[in-house]
């Protein structure tokens, strides 16, 4: 199988490394409008460098698209026209209409479209799945220090969409209501936000994200009848607490069985790229398909739109301009 990477910035370089490490995969080349970056990645991975990704598409069966979100739709259209399978970094596109267009075109040409929601391949997230029953309340925090990347989009598309995707995957009920707050602090986009997602079956998720904190936290707590699950994304650790029926402590609290498992050696990106390669070979549906990427994008955009409606844009504009 011949693979390539379009866009070798911070994350794209890692995509190239993962393809290079896989058996029975030839990393043909990498493409970037910054030819120096392409050359550097190509040298590191012993492959070809392209400044025009359309030339790369003539040589490969599948690619990772790791370019700014605003270019996802355009680049993907060229990949589809060339008959090349796609691993698209999240979010799938900037609009639901663009996502629908790509999904339909890939289905029409029987092409694989996988969306890079990396946390789905976090070993802690995969390990929690057998313990999920009927979540009734989820509390999620994804707090990050400021990094000068990903700031071309709202923090909801940068960070919250990871948690939205996971939550939509474990709560099997339509989303009914969204309540949000958020504000720009460092960039012209929203940098800190909270969304309360309420589902038709009564399940509720409270999701907080920030990219301007002094320390980082990435965790999710899932409460369900008789049990509790704590997922530490950063340290790849899952802790479960199950109530013992009919057995009580002196204070009346049910006795608990607590278990913790850590997965320090897990490599989510390697697992994601390997999964994509397997889907390309076997023509199977990805764990995070175009449809699932579109679903997460739809909710994220609703969150963004509601936050915008709540913000006093004139005040924020004055503050950010320094006036």
CATH 3.40.50.720 fits 2-117+270-289, yes or no: yes
**Residue 224 neighbours by CB under 8 Å, 6+ apart:** 132, 133, 134, 135, 136
Give the residue, 18 or 310, on which the prediction is more confident.
18
Where residue 244 falls among pLDDT bands split at 50, 70, 90? Answer: confident
Write down the pLDDT at residue 316.
47
**Average of pLDDT values for 299-320?**
74
In the chain, domain spans: 2-117+270-289, 120-264+299-315
How far apart are the C-alpha atoms of 181 and 193, rounded to whole Å?
6
pLDDT(202) > 50: yes
Poorest-confidence range of 43-47, 67-71, 250-254? 250-254
**Residue 262 neighbours by CB under 8 Å, 6+ apart:** 235, 236, 237
Q: Do 2-117+270-289 and 120-264+299-315 come out as alike in CATH topology? A: no
**Average of pLDDT values for 240-250?**
80
**Average of pLDDT values for 32-50?**
97
Write down the pLDDT at residue 163.
97
pLDDT(21) > 60: yes
Where residue 89 falls among pLDDT bands split at 50, 70, 90? Answer: very high
Write down the pLDDT at residue 280.
98
How far apart are the C-alpha atoms of 181 and 174, rounded to whole Å?
22
**Average of pLDDT values for 97-118?**
98
pLDDT(271) > 80: yes
Write down the pLDDT at residue 318.
47
pLDDT(323) > 80: no
How far apart are the C-alpha atoms of 231 and 229, rounded to whole Å?
6
Residue listed under structure tokens 């970037």:
32
List the one residue out of 25, 162, 38 whose CA is nearest residue 89: 162
Which listed CATH number (3.30.360.10, 3.40.630.30, 3.40.1160.10, 1.10.10.10) goes with 120-264+299-315? Answer: 3.30.360.10
Write down the pLDDT at residue 322.
44
How far apart are the C-alpha atoms of 112 and 281, rounded to whole Å?
10
Poorest-confidence range of 74-83, 140-149, 278-287, 310-319? 310-319
pLDDT(224) > 90: yes
Where residue 247 falls among pLDDT bands split at 50, 70, 90? Answer: confident
Top-confidence range, 58-62, 248-252, 254-258: 58-62
Q: Rounded to the nearest 5°, which phi and psi values hold at 195?
A: -135, 135
Where residue 249 falls among pLDDT bands split at 50, 70, 90? Answer: confident
The helix or strand, by DSSP H or E, that contains position 152, with its residue range, turns out to be none
| Residue 7 burial (10 A CB sphere; 0-12, 13-18, 19+) | buried
**Average of pLDDT values for 207-230?**
94
* Average pLDDT along the chain: 92
For residue 133, CA distances in Å to 150, 170, 172, 207, 272 come to: 34, 9, 10, 20, 25
pLDDT(57) > 80: yes
Write down the pLDDT at residue 42.
98
How far apart are the C-alpha atoms of 159 and 104, rounded to whole Å?
27
pLDDT(304) > 90: yes
What's the DSSP call for residue 122? Answer: -
- Chain centroid offset of residue 118 CA: 5
Where residue 147 falls among pLDDT bands split at 50, 70, 90? Answer: confident
**Average of pLDDT values for 30-45?**
97
pLDDT(268) > 80: yes
**Average of pLDDT values for 225-238?**
93
pLDDT(317) > 80: no
- Chain centroid offset of residue 95 CA: 16
pTM: 0.90
Write down the pLDDT at residue 149.
64
| Tokens read off for 321 | 């301009």
Write down the pLDDT at residue 152.
67
For residue 219, CA distances in Å to 5, 8, 162 come to: 30, 29, 11
């Amino acid at each position: 199988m011949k693979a390539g990477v379009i866009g070798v910035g911070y994350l794209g370089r890692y995509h190239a490394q993962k393809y290079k490490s896989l058996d029975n995969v030839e990393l043909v080349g990498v493409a970037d409008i910054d030819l120096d970056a392409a050359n550097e990645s190509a040298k590191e991975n012993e492959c070809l460098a392209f400044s025009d990704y359309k030339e790369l598409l003539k040589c490969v069966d599948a690619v990772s698209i790791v370019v700014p979100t605003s270019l996802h739709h355009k680049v993907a259209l060229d990949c589809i026209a060339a008959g090349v399978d796609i691993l698209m970094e999240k979010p799938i596109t900037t609009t639901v209409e663009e996502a629908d267009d790509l999904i339909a075109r890939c289905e029409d040409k029987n092409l694989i479209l996988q969306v890079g929601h990396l946390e789905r391949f976090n070993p802690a997230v995969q390990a929690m799945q057998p313990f999920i029953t009927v979540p009734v309340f989820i509390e999620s925090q994804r707090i990050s220090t400021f990094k000068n990347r990903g700031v071309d989009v709202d923090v909801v598309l940068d960070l919250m969409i990871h948690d939205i995707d996971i939550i939509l995957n474990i709560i099997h009920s339509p989303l009914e209501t969204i309540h949000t707050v958020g504000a720009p602090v460092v960039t012209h986009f929203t940098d800190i936000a909270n969304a309360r997602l309420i589902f038709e079956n009564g399940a509720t998720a409270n999701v907080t994200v920030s990219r301007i904190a002094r320390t980082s936290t990435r965790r999710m707590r899932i409460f369900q009848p008789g049990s509790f699950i704590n997922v530490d994304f950063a340290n790849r650790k899952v802790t479960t607490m199950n109530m013992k029926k009919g057995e009580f402590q002196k204070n009346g609290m049910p006795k608990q069985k607590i278990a913790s498992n850590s997965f320090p050696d897990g490599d989510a990106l390697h697992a994601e790229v390997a999964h994509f390669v397997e889907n390309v070979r076997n023509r199977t549906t990805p764990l995070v398909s175009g449809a699932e990427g579109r679903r997460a994008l739809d909710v994220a955009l609703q969150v963004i739109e509601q936050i915008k409606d709540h913000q006093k844009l004139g005040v924020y504009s004055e503050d950010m301009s320094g006036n």
